[in-house]
Chains A and B, each alone.
Chain A
């Protein structure tokens, strides 16, 4: 098992953001984590990669207990993540942003630069290598974040709402890119989204959260038909009235 989360609880004061979440992600899978806004998806991500300390419960990665590890150690272990609200380094060029990711595995600038260029090609950003990232459109900035995460040579790539803010064409392009990098880099993908279209197409397995709890799990087709899921997305009345 690549990633295992056991009975994870995260409370902020009195607010329970994650209540008793357990899940597993296997090597090579594409797992989607969906749920309405405020379901606790990003909180769960942050607990796994070390931005929050879980109130209770365990997170383990390739058999090692990484619960409560600081984010930089989790990254070194082989989990990379992107952010829902972009966190580009604005004063560095596109190439340098990605080189910083590559420095996670090497101290040599030439190797870091070579890695960065390979990855730029993989995400179709070669032409923008020396641009300032803040001058590029959102879709390109998302690709920079993806490339930067990829440069740390992760085994597990966690993408937080990668498709949010993209138009249908850009979404389609990023799905193609994701499939390509997954094949070439032998990756496992774990992604959140509240836009159903994106996640239903790409995921092999879907986990549904609502109000801090895990409410369903299974193939996209199966989950989409479940009463509880429809209720969570469209409201109780809608489910009753059908």
Chain B
């Protein structure tokens, strides 16, 4: 038990400089509502934490597992819809809907994982993308889920801890709590037996099998955990946006944004998702808004694409890879 707690909370194996940056980061996020009064800045911060949280989960299969999954939005959708539908139909408390979302995301992932992991590389990526698109279409045409009209959840006077509805400060700490929970889970995971075995599978499947690792089984478990982590963020989206439809919680753009966040930040590193989200989200929300305000639609996407091309061409390990290289040299 003591060992487990130490594995969850300890960053002792990381250099002192990284631990200091983590503390500064946490201090800034904790005091952010006092640092930034504007509603837009707070919304940007919440979006940053949400995408970083999605990145944490995706980093498990995509970074530590090396499997390019372009369908994480379907799991976000399962979480979001579990929360929205249970609140809408049965007035269920948020905290009871989260396990249901996790359950359906995990169940679906387990069911599709075996056939999908018969595929490798690009073919696996295409398969994940297709499965996610199929689910989105199903939710668009299914009446019980509200179809393309979406689901509106009952709005309550804030703060409400059953439906988890707050003002911008409340949502800020709500998402930060969820983010920290997944961050600490990943801190445990990267040091766990499963974490090492998954990295071994990523690095060399033949070698992994020779060391007693069930290669397909390990990938399937990783895929299911990633699904469960994504569903939690989906549930938050419902509580935050108060209204969801397939275009908001299950779009292809979201799957790609999640994967890109991790790849830009540094796949397979505990810091990667945070760095990636910090690089992409403010850029998207400020630059995009500013340029669109001046009538220059699409320029932010070009800058986006350019950054990703540069990183893909020169530093496959993302921004974290660059930082590591620079600090090692110095």
Contact = CB atoms under 8 A, between A and B. Distances in A.
B47 interface: no
A109 interface: yes
Contact of B196 (A83, A99, A110): A99
Nearest to B196: A100
A42 to B, nearest CB: 12
Interface stretch (A22-30, A85-93, A173-181, A203-211): A85-93
Interface stretch (B96-104, B204-212, B242-250, B293-301): B204-212
A91 B212 CA distance: 19
Most chain A beta carbons < 10 A, residue from B191, B204, B211, B268: B211
A149 interface: yes
Most chain B beta carbons < 10 A, residue from A49, A75, A99, A107: A75
Nearest to B206: A87
Given A89-B204, A112-B193, A75 B210 contact: yes
A152 interface: yes
B215 interface: yes
A138 B171 CA distance: 55
A89 B206 contact: no
Given A75-B211, A148-B211, A103 B204 contact: no
A16 B284 CA distance: 60
A80 interface: yes
Nearest to A89: B203
A90 B268 CA distance: 13
A81 B203 CA distance: 17
A72 B213 contact: yes
B192 interface: yes
Nearest to A149: B210
Contacts of A89: 199-200, 203-204, 207-208
A109 B212 contact: no
A54 B219 CA distance: 26
Contacts of A81: 210
B207 A83 contact: yes
Contacts of A100: 196-197, 199-200, 208, 211, 213
B158 interface: no
Given A88-B204, A91-B268, A103 B210 contact: no
Interface in B23-52: none
A112 B194 CA distance: 13
A116 B192 CA distance: 15
The B interface, classified by DSSP as helix, strand, loop or mixed, is helix
B17 interface: no
Contacts of B209: 50-51, 70-72, 75
A172 interface: no
Interface string A97-116: 00111011011011010000
A80 B210 contact: yes
Nearest to A87: B207
Contact of A49 (B202, B204, B210): B210
A76 interface: yes
Interface string B2-17: 0100010000000000
A92 B212 contact: no
Most chain A beta carbons < 10 A, residue from B192, B199, B203, B206: B203
Given A88-B204, A92-B203, A107 B193 contact: yes
A148 B210 CA distance: 10
Contacts of B207: 83, 87-89, 148
B214 interface: yes
A71 B192 CA distance: 22
Given A72-B213, A101-B211, A96 B196 contact: yes
B194 to A, nearest CB: 9
A104 B203 CA distance: 17
14 contacts: A71-B209, A71-B210, A75-B209, A75-B210, A89-B203, A91-B199, A92-B196, A96-B199, A99-B196, A100-B196, A100-B197, A109-B7, A109-B193, A112-B196
Interface of A: 49-51, 70-72, 75-76, 80-81, 83, 87-92, 96, 99-101, 103-104, 106-107, 109-110, 112, 148-149, 151-152
Given A72-B214, A88-B207, A92-B199, 11 more contacts: A70-B214, A72-B209, A83-B207, A88-B204, A96-B199, A100-B211, A103-B196, A104-B211, A148-B207, A151-B211, A152-B211
The 6 closest A-B pairs by CB, nearest first: A89-B203, A104-B212, A75-B212, A71-B209, A87-B207, A100-B200
